[in-house]
C-alpha cells in the first residue's frame, strides 16, 4: 500500500522540503528542493501628460523582454492617444517569471484661439488686434500681450499662438487690409481777370484691392 501525501506550498524563497511516506507498511523519508525565483522589478515609467495631437515615448525597465498592452514587444514604444489612456507592460526575466506595471498618459485639450475678424484700414492708420481663447499669447510680431497695435504699410496677415492652462497651444490669424491713400490733382495754378471765369479740373485716383479707379470733376470758378 502506498500512502501519498500531497502538500501545496507557495514559498517565498528556495527551501528544502522533507516528507514522510509509507509503502507496503514500511515508512520512508525523502526530500525535495523547491527553487523560488524573484519576479522582475518592472517599471513602466512615470505618468505623463501630453496635448491633443502629440505623441510620447514610453520606456519600460526591469526585465529581459516585454509585452505591452498595445501588442508591441519592444522595450520602448511611441503612443499618440486621443484620450487619457493607461498602458500596461508585462516584463519577463531570465527565469521566465513575469510582472506587470502600468503608466497613465493624460491627454489635455487644445485651446480655441480667435485672433479677431479681418479688418480694413487706410494707409498710415493703425488698428488694435485682440486675441481670445487662452491664458498666454505669442504674436508673429513678437508681442506676448493679448492685444497689440499694428500700423502696416501694406496688407498683412498676423498670426497668434494661444496657450491654455495646460500649456497646450493652437494658432489663428487675422488679415489687415491696407487701402492706399487717394491721389488728388487740382491742376496747375492759373490767373484770371476780374469778371472772368475759370474751369478747374479735379482729378482723384485711388487703388482698392489692386483696382485703380479715377474720378474727374469739373468746377467752374468766377471772380
Query: Which residue ranges make up each domain of the chain?
Result: 2-34, 48-108, 119-179, 183-222
What is the number of other CB atoms lying within 10 angstroms of the CB of residue 148?
19
Place of cell 528556495: 14
The reported pTM is 0.69
Per-residue pLDDT at 26:
61
Question: What distance in Å separates the CA atoms of residue 174 and residue 183, rounded to the nearest whole number?
Answer: 28
Contact indicator for 16, 29 with CB cutoff of 8 Å: no
Per-residue pLDDT at 210:
52
What is the band of 197 on the pLDDT scale with cuts at 50, 70, 90? Answer: confident
What is the band of 38 on the pLDDT scale with cuts at 50, 70, 90? Answer: confident
| Stronger pLDDT, 37 or 59, i.e. the higher one | 59
Question: What distance in Å separates the CA atoms of residue 67 and residue 102, rounded to the nearest whole number?
Answer: 12
Which residues neighbour 83 within 8 Å (Cβ) at sequence distance 6 or greater?
Answer: 107
Query: What would the pLDDT profile of 4-35 be if each residue is shown by its tens digit?
Result: 444 444 555 555 555 555 555 665 566 666 67
> Mean pLDDT, to the nearest integer, of 191-195?
77
Which residues neighbour 86 within 8 Å (Cβ) at sequence distance 6 or greater?
Answer: 102, 103, 104, 105
Query: Sheet containing 2-3: which strands, arranged edge to edge?
Result: 2-3, 15-23, 26-34
Q: Which of 1-5, 121-125, 190-194 has the highest mean pLDDT?
A: 121-125
> Mean pLDDT, to the nearest integer, of 150-178?
97
Question: What distance in Å separates the CA atoms of residue 160 and residue 144, rounded to the nearest whole number?
Answer: 9
Per-residue pLDDT at 178:
96
Amino acid at each position: 500500500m502506498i500512502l501519498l501525501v500531497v502538500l501545496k506550498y507557495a514559498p517565498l524563497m528556495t527551501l528544502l522540503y522533507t516528507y514522510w511516506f509509507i509503502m507496503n507498511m514500511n515508512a520512508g523519508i525523502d526530500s525535495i528542493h523547491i527553487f523560488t525565483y524573484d519576479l522582475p522589478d518592472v517599471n513602466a515609467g512615470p505618468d505623463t501628460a501630453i496635448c491633443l495631437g502629440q505623441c510620447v515615448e514610453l520606456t519600460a525597465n526591469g526585465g529581459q523582454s516585454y509585452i505591452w498592452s498595445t501588442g508591441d514587444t519592444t522595450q520602448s514604444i511611441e503612443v499618440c492617444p486621443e484620450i487619457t489612456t493607461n498602458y500596461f507592460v508585462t516584463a519577463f526575466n531570465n527565469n521566465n517569471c513575469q510582472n506587470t506595471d502600468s503608466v497613465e498618459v493624460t491627454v489635455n485639450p487644445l485651446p480655441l484661439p480667435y485672433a479677431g475678424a479681418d479688418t480694413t484700414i487706410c494707409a498710415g492708420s493703425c488698428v488694435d488686434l485682440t486675441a481670445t481663447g487662452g491664458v498666454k499669447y505669442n504674436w508673429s510680431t513678437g508681442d506676448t500681450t493679448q492685444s497689440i497695435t499694428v500700423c502696416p504699410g501694406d496688407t498683412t496677415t498676423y498670426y497668434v499662438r494661444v496657450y491654455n492652462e495646460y500649456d497646450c497651444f493652437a494658432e489663428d490669424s487675422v488679415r489687415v487690409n491696407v487701402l492706399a491713400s487717394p491721389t488728388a490733382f487740382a491742376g496747375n495754378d492759373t490767373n484770371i481777370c476780374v469778371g472772368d471765369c475759370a474751369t478747374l479740373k479735379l482729378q482723384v485716383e485711388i487703388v482698392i484691392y489692386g483696382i485703380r479707379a479715377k474720378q474727374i470733376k469739373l468746377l467752374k470758378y468766377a471772380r
